[in-house]
Amino acid sequence: MKTTKHLLFAFFISLLLFSCSKDSDDNSVSAPTDFEYPTGGPVPFYTHGSTGTPTINWNNDIGTFTLDNNYMGVSIDENTGVLSWNEDLPLHENYINVTATNSAGIAQTTVLFLHQFSGVFNGGHNLDPTSTMIPNNNLNITFNVDGTLNITDHIETVSGTWSFNNAGKLICNYTLTSGNFELEFDLTYSLIINPYLAGIKRMSGSTTAIGFARLDYQ
């Protein structure tokens, strides 16, 4: 009889220890896992916005989010992990590295902000590349994200192409009845500066400017 009681006692003690061990495992703290952001599309030119809240398993210890670097035009909410961008975001691919940290360790992930150039620019050009004076509005361009453009030069409207060269210059090519032309622009923009293009007009294949051009983002 005593043996049976001892066995029952040992059995209940084992159950109690197993239960406590299980509770301890359930409440154990470890580094965050399964950290990722919802998939988003490209960032339209000169806009501001934010991502959704990332998914993450904090493993019983909620921590904070930080950026691994100072990214121009990008900020993070350290509590929610939501990433925000503004009009300072550089063009093209921006890889944003984010770290989630709790008392046990870290998890890291990378988010791509693809800032695509496009939009409507209105302005004009003159016939004196040494002067920045534009006599009238005679040049209007619509840039499409696929690298094509529609341009009105004086009274003629045609299609063309655009791209950024290795020096960061915006190059536009188009053909009028009077010949093939090329525009070379510097693109300037920031959170406080409305985008504008300033540069030269020349005949395609020539290095000699035939005029100065300036257009503002609409």
pLDDT at 176 over 80: yes
Q: What is the pLDDT of residues 10-53, one digit of tens each?
A: 444 444 444 444 444 579 999 999 999 999 999 999 999 999 99
Cβ within 8 Å of residue 94, ≥6 positions away: 71, 74, 112, 113, 114, 115
Distance linking the first and last C-alpha atoms of the chain: 94
What are residue 157's DSSP bridge partners?
152
Structure token digits, residue 135: 């006599």
Write the DSSP symbol of residue 180.
E
Q: What is the pLDDT of residue 26?
A: 73
Q: What is the pLDDT of residue 179?
A: 98
pLDDT at 197 over 70: yes
Cβ within 8 Å of residue 9, ≥6 positions away: none
pLDDT at 156 over 90: yes
| pTM as predicted | 0.85
146 to 14, 149, 196, 199: CA distances (angstroms): 69, 9, 20, 22
> Looking at residues 179-207, what average pLDDT do you find?
98
Residue 200, classified by CB atoms within 10 Å of its CB into exposed (0-12), middle (13-18) or buried (19+), is: middle
pLDDT at 186 over 90: yes
pLDDT at 5 over 70: no
Q: What is the pLDDT of residue 7?
A: 40
Let me know if the fold of 29-115 is the same as that of 119-217.
no
Domain chopping of the chain, boundaries: 29-115, 119-217
pLDDT at 6 over 50: no
Please give the class, per CATH, of domain 119-217: mainly beta
Please give the class, per CATH, of domain 29-115: mainly beta
Q: What is the pLDDT of residues 101-135, one digit of tens each?
A: 999 999 999 999 999 999 999 999 999 999 999 99
Q: What is the pLDDT of residue 25?
A: 55
Cβ within 8 Å of residue 123, ≥6 positions away: 134, 137, 139, 140, 196, 197, 213, 214, 215, 216
